[in-house]
């Protein structure tokens, strides 16, 4: 199968708008909202999306220079610390820029190469891109519902 890096990046950019379009309207007060009985807050989901994008940039798409401390992936639960809006927005912008740069560094032939991770096994880079797109969109949907219907604990 032939791949074109530019088209795949356009696909990723468009899918990420499900998340990025929500960011300008989020307030500091929104960050602690959650839906009962879930313990994960809006702030946790924002941080989690950034964590996973950075992990993909580094471990799947070769941005080995990145230092990633994916706290939401490690802890697997909301610790209540994701409540500083400027820091979260800076973090997810950094994650976006890092993943964008890593994707831009791919050559068309790279997309059919295989990567292996403990999280999702063996996939081509094209399949892995689909994975990060669906991951972000999935949590963006959760975030939208929390922002609309969530309550403060």
The whole domain housing 35 covers: 5-149
User: Does the pLDDT at position 118 exceed 90?
Assistant: no
Q: Report the CATH number that the domain containing residue 98 is assigned in CATH.
A: 1.20.120.450
pTM above 0.75, yes or no: yes
Domains of the chain: total: 1
Q: How far is CA 144 from CA 19, 75, 133, in A?
A: 9, 23, 16
User: Does the pLDDT at position 1 exceed 70?
Assistant: no
User: Which range (2-11, 82-91, 92-101, 125-134) has the least confidence?
Assistant: 2-11
């Amino acid at each position: 199968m032939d791949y074109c890096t530019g088209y795949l990046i356009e696909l990723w950019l468009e899918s990420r708008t499900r998340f990025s379009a929500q960011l300008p309207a989020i307030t500091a007060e929104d960050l602690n909202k959650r839906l009962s009985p879930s313990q994960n807050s809006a702030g946790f989901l924002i941080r989690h999306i950034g964590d996973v994008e950075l992990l993909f940039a580094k471990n799947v798409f070769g941005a080995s220079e990145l230092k990633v401390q994916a706290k939401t992936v490690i802890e697997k639960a909301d610790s209540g610390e994701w409540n500083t809006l400027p820091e979260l927005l800076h973090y997810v912008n950094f994650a976006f820029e890092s993943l964008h740069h890593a994707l831009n560094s791919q050559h068309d032939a790279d997309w059919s190469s295989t990567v292996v991770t403990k999280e999702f096994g063996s996939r081509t880079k094209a399949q892995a891109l689909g994975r990060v797109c669906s991951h972000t969109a999935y949590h963006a949907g959760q975030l939208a519902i929390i922002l609309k219907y969530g309550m403060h604990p």
